[in-house]
Amino acid sequence: MGAESQKIVFGMPLPAEKDAQRGSRKPRLDKAERDQMIFQTIHVDTLIPEDHPARAIWEFVGKMDLTSLYLKINAVEGTAGRSATDPHTLISLWIYAYSQGISSAREMEKLCEYHPAFQWLTGMKVINHHTLSDFRIGNKEALDGLFTQTLGLLSAENLITLERVMHDGTKIKANAGADSFRTEERIQAHLKMAKAHLESMGDPTETPSDDRARKARERAAHERKERLETALRELEKIRAHKPDEEAMRKARASQTDPEARIMKQSNGGYGPSYNVQISTDRANGVIVGVEATQEANDCGRLLPAVEKIQENTGCLPKQMVADGGYTNRQNILAMDEKGVEFIGSMPDVSKTTLAQFARRGIDPAFYPGSFRYNPKRNTYTCPAGKVLTYAGKAKRHGLTEYHYRANDNDCAACAFKEKCCPQSPKKGRCVVRTENHSVVHAFITKMNTPEAKEIYRQRGPTAEFPNAWIKEKMKLRQFRLRGLRKIGMECVWACLTYNIQSWIRLRWSPPGLSSVMC
């Protein structure tokens, strides 16, 4: 290296006097030394700051009654064996993990090794992913109990009023691919192969083995056989909803997650999913009810949602607000019977009705609007001046249909027959007059008022926020687990986390910081 180039360090010229002092000496650097053993002193409690959310989660879980979980532990004082991991720790770990968008037990095990918040929660212990995983899915009743207790604690802090509850559903992808759906023929063929494979492994009771890899293979083969058997059972349920023989024959079920159903996603595409129903209290955005279902359609889930809220809180909501997917006559009557005021948006079915007339080949000039009703005589007069007389009524949910029919001979001889009733060669034209149930009529009148419209406008921000939070922040766009029971538990874990995060945001003040503020 030349003398001129030595004067340039990182492209900057050295001051002349500094250059003179250094001479040819090299800079002394504190380099990373990795070939060494060191001992470190750590005060575990100072691993995270006073206002860290892990402390808040620990504090909140500490307020819960975990007796049912402690009673399940076999290891007791005075006996030999390994101690069980404290449920307080396991619950806090899962809540913290979900709040960080982590739902993998293996990832949590790794984080326990170096992540300060996980180390603080476990007291610097590494918890095996099997322990974490088993705890997440092995305590359904206790988990439901924790959700209920959380609502009780939030209610005690005046964070729940149940004055107005917004309800909505969201589709979450199942842990299965669209290509895992098979017809009965294919599932039967795969089941046959799975059984043959199991038989080829021999009877494990006759040939006991300590080989862990072999045991894992046997367990996997058993699980595959059970999944295929479940797929056949689920296929029968899917077929029960098919309209005809051809559709039943073509019906398919997933071999990976047999309980998943093909549903329309928010992006317009279709895929294996579950429909997650969430009820949110308007006062502070606390989730008061959650349920995962296989039903793609929302309309049948409003009443179960109200019953779930009652089960969780012991009270019925005063008012339930839901979108057009839930607003039908059946639900309006059901809410009225329950004593819950319903605010919804009645879908406009006029376009569907007109499309039906068009499909039947009826000319627009002969749609029911062109027939004149005479209330005194209870008859209709058609555009050709003929009278349609009352022919009977049919009652449906919240609706009575009155049928009126023209004389067969009048229509047969009519010049407009091809335009008026082209699909009824022998019978006279029929017109239906509908009359809403008084409760439905009152609902429609109410929903035309500015007050009701204003309440309905609040629905979107309140009801859709938890759905978006769970999908975006907790990254629960796709379930990690499989089967309705397990994904239902994933939903409860996510909503439990959401509610505790709400408590942290609205009520928690770190003990150290609050005393400083005082």
Which residues of the shown chain bind ligand SF4 in the complex (CB under 6 A)? 382-384, 386, 406, 410-411, 414, 416-417, 420-421, 428-429
Tokens (6 digits) for 409: 């001979």
User: Cα(492)–Cα(78) distance, rounded to whole angstroms?
Assistant: 36
Task: Using the minimum distance from each CB to ligand SF4, give the nearer residue, 19 or 363.
Answer: 363
CA–CA gap between residue 503 and residue 161 (Å, rounded):
15
Of 40 and 423, nearer to ligand SF4 (C-beta) is 423
Closer to ligand SF4 by CB, 406 or 491: give it: 406
CA distance 301 to 441: 22
Residue 369 beta carbon to ligand SF4: minimum distance, rounded to whole angstroms? 14
CA 296 to chain centre: 12
- Nearest approach, Cβ of residue 379 and ligand SF4 (Å): 12
Residue 477, CB half-sphere, CA atoms under 13 Å: how many?
Answer: 7
Minimum distance from residue 431 beta carbon to ligand SF4 (Å): 8
**Closer to ligand SF4 by Cβ: residue 54 or 411:** 411
CB of 406 to ligand SF4, least distance (A): 4
The three-state DSSP-derived secondary structure of 71-111 is HCCCCCCCCCCCCCCCHHHHHHHHHHHHHCCCCCHHHHHHH
- The total of other beta-carbon atoms located within 10 Å of residue 299's CB is 14
Residue placing its CB nearer to ligand SF4 in the complex, 316 or 387 = 387
Helix H, strand E, coil C: the string for 130-161 is: HHHHHHHHCCHHHHHHHHHHHHHHHHHCCCCC
> Which of 132, 406 has the CB closer to ligand SF4?
406
**Range list of β-strands (E), 165-232:** 165-173, 181-182
- Report the nearest approach of ligand SF4 to the CB of residue 386 (Å): 4
Separation CA 89–CA 121 (nearest Å):
6
In the three-class reduction of DSSP (H, G, I as helix; E, B as strand; rest coil), residue 213 is classed as helix
**To the nearest whole angstrom, how small is the minimum distance from the Cβ of residue 427 to ligand SF4?**
10
Nearest 5°: CA angle at 100, between 96 and 103?
80
Task: Name 404's bridge partners.
Answer: 390, 431
Whole-angstrom CA distances from 227 to 223, 239, 404 are 6, 18, 54
User: With respect to ligand SF4, which residue has the nearer C-beta, 423 or 434?
Assistant: 423
How many angstroms separate the Cα of 438 from the Cα of each of 103, 376, 506?
Answer: 49, 21, 43
Closer to ligand SF4 by CB, 223 or 408: give it: 408
Q: Indicate the helix (H) or strand (E) that contains 402.
A: strand 399-406
Q: Minimal distance in Å, beta carbon 279 to ligand SF4?
A: 49
CB proximity list for 505: less than 8 A, separation 6 or greater: none
Closest distance of CB 384 from ligand SF4, Å:
4
Q: Which is nearer to ligand SF4, 357 or 416 (CB)?
A: 416
Choice between 337 and 408, CB closer to ligand SF4: 408
Instruction: Provide the minimum distance between the beta carbon of 378 and ligand SF4 in the complex, in angstroms, as a whole number.
Output: 17
DSSP for 448-477, written as a single string: TSHHHHHHHHTHHHHHHHHHHHHHHTS-TT
The nearest distance, CB 373 to ligand SF4, in angstroms, is 14
Cα–Cα dist 181/77, whole Å:
51
Determine contact, residues 252/185, Cβ cutoff 8 Å: no
Nearest distance, CB of residue 408 and ligand SF4, angstroms:
9
Nearer to ligand SF4, 278 or 420 (CB): 420
Minimum separation from the CB atom of position 423 to ligand SF4 (A): 12
Q: In the complex with ligand SF4, which residue's Cβ is closer, 173 or 417?
A: 417
